[in-house]
Chain A
Amino acid sequence: MKLSLIKTLLLFTAITLLWSNFSFAAGIQYNMRVDGLACPFCAYGIEKKFTKTEGVDSVDIDLQKGLVIVKTREGKTFREEKLKEIINDAGFTMKSVTEKDL
């Protein structure tokens, strides 16, 4: 009975660790609101900056919503300041950002 309980606990711990590891390893999606994306000269500039940034998996521009959507590779995160800096380097101002785990 005791052994069975220990086995169950071990199994539970292993699953929990595995799950948390998967969560940790997955990337993050950042949705950044930026004004003035209708002009491709500007939108492409932002896209290029992120495409050439280490750890970025994909960049999409949602013109309808005025969003720059960046998905990162496993374990890669960006601080808000860094995102602001990249957008700023492309000649824009980031209005807001939301993030979610992938």
Chain B
Amino acid sequence: MKKILKSIQWLLFTVLVLIAITWFVWMPSAQEPAYVLEKTWGGKGSAAGQFNEPTGIAVQGNEVFVSDSRNHRIQVFDLDGTALRQFGVNNLERPMNLTIANNELYVADYFADQIRVFSLQGDYRRSIGKPGTGPGELTIPGGVAVASNGDLYVSGFTNQRVQRLRADGSFVRQWGITGEVGTFGGKLRYPTDVALSKNGTLYIADGYNDRVLAIGPDGKLLTKWGGPFAINIFGSFNGWFTTITGISVGPSGNVFVADFYNDRVQKFTRDGSFLNAFGIKSTGPTHTTIAVAEAEDGSVFVADYANHQIQKWRPGRAHI
């Protein structure tokens, strides 16, 4: 009897230790003051300043670029939400995540299976890629990142891969196995977006694996994060995800992740340490936070899919 009691005691002790480890390692606390919602703008519609399902966002200087998906256009605003211009109606079918590089706007067009490139003023320049599953071909591209030499990194949602392409669209290499869904063995599960840091680290939003993969300039995995062991365990704790739909690297080098089903942005250091989380809770049936971008002044802009609006957040002040 004494032996059994002792065994139970040990078992309880072990469980408590495991819970404590889990709590400290996989449920980190915020490392910064809370972000503050400064304003929102938009609303459902097709007039200038309104949206019909915004799905992508990028910031350059004092301008915010938004994918207005069902209106088949890009809208541009100043940092306070004043509508400046719109373009793309004749060139875009279903624009998704955006990136700005080398003074051009790159748009992942989900329905056209191409990357559309515009000047920042809105002049259509060119298209990259063609539909298909072969090397260099695109199927349902959700996001794009561009290196300083013009190379593109494109996430293919149903091709289960991220491809690196030359500026002319020719194939260089890929991560993930074409058409094969998985969590292990280098496989991806519906990758939605990609982002590049200034030092050449590629961040992959491995959407339905609920994790971020950081790939070094040599193409090898540096680190990964998202829940325990980053093996597709989803949830709403800090540092966990439930479907990532957008990722970006801010001017500060921090990584911002759109955690869609949790209705929030999560902010990390470049190596994946959790810093902060903020967002507007959805009232259903869909969700709010689909894409995110940081401005030079530290403001963070969020494409709010459910409410057809843009959210502007500013960093909170530390209490002295």
Contacts and interface: CB of A to CB of B under 8 A. Distances in A.
Interface of A: 38-41, 44-45, 48, 51, 63-64, 66, 90-91
10 contacts: A39-B243, A41-B192, A41-B245, A44-B69, A44-B94, A44-B110, A44-B140, A45-B140, A45-B157, A48-B110
Given A38-B286, A40-B290, A41-B142, A91 B190 contact: yes
B290 to A, nearest CB: 7
B245 to A, nearest CB: 6
Interface string B67-104: 00100000000000000000000000010100000000
Contacts of A41: 96, 142, 157, 190, 192, 207, 245
A48 B69 CA distance: 13
A39 B260 contact: yes
Interface of B: 53, 55, 69, 94, 96, 110-111, 140, 142, 157-158, 190, 192, 207, 243, 245, 260-261, 285-287, 290, 305
A63 B305 CA distance: 13
B246 to A, nearest CB: 10
Most buried by B among A44, A66, A91: A44
A40 to B, nearest CB: 6
A64 B207 contact: no
Given A45-B140, A45-B158, A38 B285 contact: yes
Nearest to A52: B111
Nearest to B191: A41
Contacts of B207: 41
Given A39-B260, A41-B192, A41-B207, A48 B111 contact: yes
Contacts of B260: 39
Contacts of B110: 44-45, 48
A59 to B, nearest CB: 11
Contacts of B69: 40, 44
Contacts of A51: 111
Contacts of A66: 285
Interface pairs A-B: 5 shortest CB-CB: A38-B286, A63-B285, A63-B286, A64-B285, A48-B111
B78 to A, nearest CB: 26
B111 A91 contact: no
A39 B261 CA distance: 8
Contact of A48 (B94, B190, B243, B290): B94
Contacts of A90: 158
Most buried by B among A63, A64, A90, A91: A91
A69 B24 CA distance: 47
Contacts of A45: 110, 140, 157-158
B116 to A, nearest CB: 16
Contacts of A64: 285
Given A40-B290, A41-B157, A41-B207, 7 more contacts: A38-B285, A39-B261, A40-B286, A41-B96, A41-B142, A44-B140, A48-B94
